[in-house]
């Protein structure tokens, strides 16, 4: 499954855009491209992990912002093709609803998380 001819997309019953992946018999899910997962645990107190998939190796920037859009942290890393995991330490993050954004040259996605 790729987007060479048309965009590879899947839609749910409420017309919401869903992640597109192939599930092989061993239970392993292979993503068709970019994917930003929900952090776990969520909410968290000391640290949380964020899974993300890349169709190819790329430089990745994670930004953490608060509900007002104030930039709290910038994390840069080199992602590999396939599954990647980022461990986020609470450190100086305030309690409340925060947003994390993954950015590469070809992709940007944002999700929310709760810091206790």
Q: What is the pLDDT of residues 61-92, one digit of tens each?
A: 999 999 999 999 999 999 999 999 999 999 88
Tokens coding 95: 């309690």
Cβ proximity of 59 and 74 under 8 Å: no
Give me the number of domains the chain comprises.
1
Does the residue 63 lie in any domain? yes
Q: So what's the pLDDT on residue 23?
A: 58
Whether 38 shows a pLDDT value over 70: the answer reads: yes
Residue 105 lies in a domain: yes
Q: What does the pLDDT average to over 53-57?
A: 94
Q: What does pTM read for this prediction?
A: 0.72
Helices assigned H by DSSP within the chain: none
Compute the mean pLDDT over every residue in the chain, rounded to the nearest whole number: 87
CATH of residue 50's domain is 2.60.40.1930
Judged against a pLDDT cut of 90, whether residue 2 lies above it is answered with: no
């Amino acid at each position: 499954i790729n987007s060479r001819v048309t965009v590879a997309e899947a839609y749910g019953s409420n017309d919401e855009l869903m992640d597109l992946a192939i599930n092989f018999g061993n239970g392993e899910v292979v993503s068709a491209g970019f994917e930003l997962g929900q952090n776990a645990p969520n909410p968290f107190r000391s640290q949380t992990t964020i899974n993300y998939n890349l169709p190819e190796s790329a430089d990745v920037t994670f930004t953490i912002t608060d509900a007002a859009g104030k930039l709290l942290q910038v994390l840069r890393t080199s992602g590999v093709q396939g599954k990647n995991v980022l461990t986020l330490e609470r450190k100086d993050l305030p309690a409340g609803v925060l947003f994390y954004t993954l950015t590469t040259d070809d992709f940007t996605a944002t999700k929310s998380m709760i810091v206790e």
